[in-house]
Amino acid sequence: MDPRLSMINVDNISVRAGTFSLKNVSLRLPTGKYGVLMGKTGSGKTTILESVLGLRAVSSGRILLAEEDVTQLNPAVRGVGYVPQDGALFSHMTVQDHLAFALRIRSVDSETTNQRVHELAEMLQITGLLNRTPHGLSGGERQRVALGRALSFRPRVLCLDEPLSALDTETREQMCQLLDNVRRLTGVTTLHVTHNLDEAERLADCLFRLEDGKIEATSNP
C-alpha cells in the first residue's frame, strides 16, 4: 500500500451526541503513522474516535479508511481495533479467550488461533496470565489484554481511547514503551486519544489538537 495515502481520513464530519455536537471536523492520518488526538475533557475527542470506529453515526461528511468510504459501513466490517478507556474486558472469559475471540468469530482454524494467541501474549508480555479471568488483573495488565484483543485480527487501524489515563506513573511508562514496541512490530496505523501532553509528545508522529470544535494538526519531530 502506498504510504503517502491516508489510512484515516475524517472528511468534514458533523456529529451529534446528546446535547453535544461537533461541526465540520477533519483529520488525516497517513498509513503506518501514530496519531495522537488531544483535547480537554468534553471536547469531543472520544466522539471522533467513535465515528471512526462506526459506533456513532455522523450527520454529515465522510469517513474514509485507506481511501475507501466507510461512512455507512457497519463497525463489524470496518477492520478497526478498539481499546476503550477502562478496557471493557469480558468478565466471564479468560485472557486466552479474549485474544482468540475475534479469530473465532472470523472462523479462523484453531491451530492458527492458538499460534496467534501465543504470539500476542509474548509481544504484550502476558503469557503468564493466559488462563486468568479479568477479575484480579491490575490496571496495566487489563490494558495489555484489551490491546491484545484489539490487535488479534490484524486490524488496519487501531483506536485507543485514553488507554493510559487510569494507570500510575510507573505503569504508564511501561505501557508507553509497550505501545512503541507494538507500533514497531505491527506497523498498524494508530489513533490515540488522550488529554495528557507528555504521553502525546512521547508517542505521536502526528499530533492533533481539538479545541473549540476545530482540529489543528502538527507533526511531532
Partner 1 sequence: MSAPSSESPEQREFGRRRSPESINLSNRLFYTCLSIIGGTYVLLIVAMLFADVAYMVDRTLTASEDSPTPWLTAIVENPISKAMGDPKIRYSTWLSLISCTLAAVISVIVAVPMGYLLSRHQFPGKRLLDAVLDIPIVLPPLVVGLSLLILFQFPPFAWIARSVVYRVPAVVIAQFSVACAFAVRTMKSTFEHIDPRCEQVAITLGCSRVQAFDRIVLPEASRGMMTAFTLAWARALGEFGPLLIFAGATRMKTEVLSTSVFLEMNIGNIEGAVAVSLIMVAAAIIVLIITRTWGVRDDRV
Residues binding partner 1 (CB under 8 A): 53-55, 75-78, 80-82, 84-86, 88-92, 101-102, 105-106, 133, 135, 146, 149-150, 152-153
In the complex with partner 1, the residue whose CB is nearer, 189 or 209, is 189
In the complex with partner 1, the residue whose CB is nearer, 47 or 200, is 47
3-state DSSP percent of the chain in helix, strand and coil, to 5: 35, 30, 35
Closest distance between partner 1 and the C-beta of residue 75, in Å?
5
Residues 6+ apart with CB under 8 A from 168: 139
CA distances from 4 to 8, 69, 83, 153, 208 (A): 12, 18, 26, 24, 18
Rounded to whole angstroms, how far apart are CA atoms 183 and 6?
17
Helices in the chain by DSSP H: which ranges? 45-53, 95-105, 110-123, 139-151, 169-186, 197-203
In the complex with partner 1, the residue whose CB is nearer, 86 or 205, is 86
Closest distance between partner 1 and the C-beta of residue 155, in Å?
8
In the complex with partner 1, the residue whose CB is nearer, 39 or 134, is 134
Closest distance between partner 1 and the C-beta of residue 181, in Å?
22
Q: Quick one: cell of 123?
A: 509481544
Closest distance between partner 1 and the C-beta of residue 220, in Å?
27
Rounded to whole angstroms, how far apart are CA atoms 20 and 45?
12
Closest distance between partner 1 and the C-beta of residue 161, in Å?
9
Provide the β-strand partners of residue 209: 38, 216
In the complex with partner 1, the residue whose CB is nearer, 124 or 200, is 124
Q: Please give the helix or strand (H or E) that residue 7 lies within, else none.
A: strand 6-17
